[in-house]
Amino acid sequence: MPSITNKPGVNLWKITYHPVPVHVNQMEMLRTQVNNSAQRFQELRDFINDFTIPKFSIRLPITLLRKIAMQNLASRAQALLSLQPITMCEAEQLDHMIAAKAHDLLGFPFRPLMDVLTLPIAAMGFEFPSIMRINLGITIDGVARDLNHHVPAYKAMAHITLADWTCAINGCINPFDSPGSQHEFSHYYRHIPTAWIVAQRAMMKMLSPLFLHHTDQSHISRCEMSLTHAAKICASKGKDSPHGHVWNSLRARGFRWLYQIGEWDSSLFKINQVPPFSSQRKADKGALNAWNYMHEVLNDAQISWFYTGDANLLLDRKTRRSKAKDWIHLLGHISQLPPSRTT
């Protein structure tokens, strides 16, 4: 691979070719195997097993033991997990390993519960670091960061991954939103990034579930969605699901998008009454039958089936910003508060 030259006495602008090892069926970045939680778990497990706490002539104070665990074990675990998170079961095993070390040094007659060991002192706990909570925080924050990344290429890849998860696996329902968050995806680690599955499961199991809403759903009001996506959503609401011949007939004539066959009339979808092709030819009979079938599936579909959250999310960002500005000006006019001082 071409790279810069950093050898003494050689021109810095000279291109040097370095050998790069190629691994089949895996990808490494920053010495980390991408989406390989087992390798990261083994690395952390070996580090905790090999970590030796210094011995003292007296019993080690629990405050000092907590500080050692925080500064030496948790800090390294957080740095490694930020590159590649692990599953919840693997993180729980690491927590039990830390608890076992604390149990051996403190001489308790029994091993403390993990909930008691990791609770804050104000909640009658020992405030030990929890690898599982660190891992969950990294995964949830990572999903939100990927979907809103400042680098367009990373953001686009994250949205493609979410679209594949939504439509190919979860029946065209967003797994991070309320309707689709109740499903279990622990058997899809080979198809979905491990960190995303861990984050989705953690968000679902919170006492107050955490959802990741899509804040710009204006494409729905413009009917900019595929016919397959719309039909799957309607099928989840009790409508019939079109068979393969229907899709083949429509796609052969270039019909792939919802806006090509109809539009929204208030809150209901209305299909064009006249098909945009002649029904006199024999070759168009299959397309006409497919058109009539889609009429039964999509006609009178409710727009509320397709979006989650507030109805204002169906407006584009520019329109919402303008409406919010008008509301703020209106509140300023109707309120009896005196105007603010200006300098």
SS3 of residue 139 by DSSP: helix
Nearest to 200 by CA among 150, 149, 247, 144: 144
Q: Which residue has the tokens 């990034």?
A: 193
* Residues 145 and 82: beta-carbon distance below 8 Å: no
Asked if residue 229 belongs to a domain, the reply is: yes
Asked if residue 265 belongs to a domain, the reply is: yes
Q: Cα–Cα distance between 26 and 35 in angstroms, integer?
A: 9
Q: Cα–Cα distance between 45 and 169 in angstroms, integer?
A: 32
Which tens digits make up the pLDDT trace of 60-119?
788 888 888 888 899 999 999 999 999 999 999 999 998 888 888 877 777 778 888 888
Q: Look at residues 114, 131, 160 and tell me which one is the last residue of a structural domain.
A: 114
Give the pLDDT score at 236: 84
Quote the tokens at residue 97: 């390993």
The residues, ordered by sequence, that sit 6+ positions from 121 with a Cβ below 8 Å of its Cβ are 127
- The DSSP-derived string for 20-73 is ----TT--EETTEETT-HHHHHHHHHHHHHH--PPP-SSPPPHHHHHHHIIIII
Q: Cα–Cα distance between 116 and 130 in angstroms, integer?
A: 11
Listed in order, strand segments (DSSP E) in 188-330 are 262-265, 268-271
Residues in the chain: 343
Q: Is the alpha carbon torsion for 35, 38, 43, 48 positive or negative?
A: positive
Asked if residue 136 belongs to a domain, the reply is: no
Q: Which residues pair with 268 in a beta bridge?
A: 265, 302
User: Which residue type is seen at 268?
Assistant: L
- Write out residues in the chain with pLDDT < 50, as ranges: none
Q: Cα–Cα distance between 246 and 240 in angstroms, integer?
A: 12
Give the pLDDT score at 46: 94
Q: Look at residues 114, 141, 163 and tell me which one is the last residue of a structural domain.
A: 114
Q: Look at residues 87, 114, 141 and tell me which one is the last residue of a structural domain.
A: 114
CA 161 to chain centre: 9
Q: Which residue has the tokens 């590159």?
A: 83
Give the pLDDT score at 277: 63
Supply the range of the domain harboring residue 74: 28-114
Q: Cα–Cα distance between 342 and 53 in angstroms, integer?
A: 62
Letter string b/e over residues 314-327, b meaning 16 or more CB atoms within 10 A of that residue's CB: bbeeeebeeeeeee
Asked if residue 178 belongs to a domain, the reply is: no
Quote the tokens at residue 24: 């089949």
Asked if residue 209 belongs to a domain, the reply is: no
Asked if residue 207 belongs to a domain, the reply is: no
The tally of domains found in the chain comes to 2
Asked if residue 89 belongs to a domain, the reply is: yes
Asked if residue 105 belongs to a domain, the reply is: yes
Quote the tokens at residue 13: 């602008």
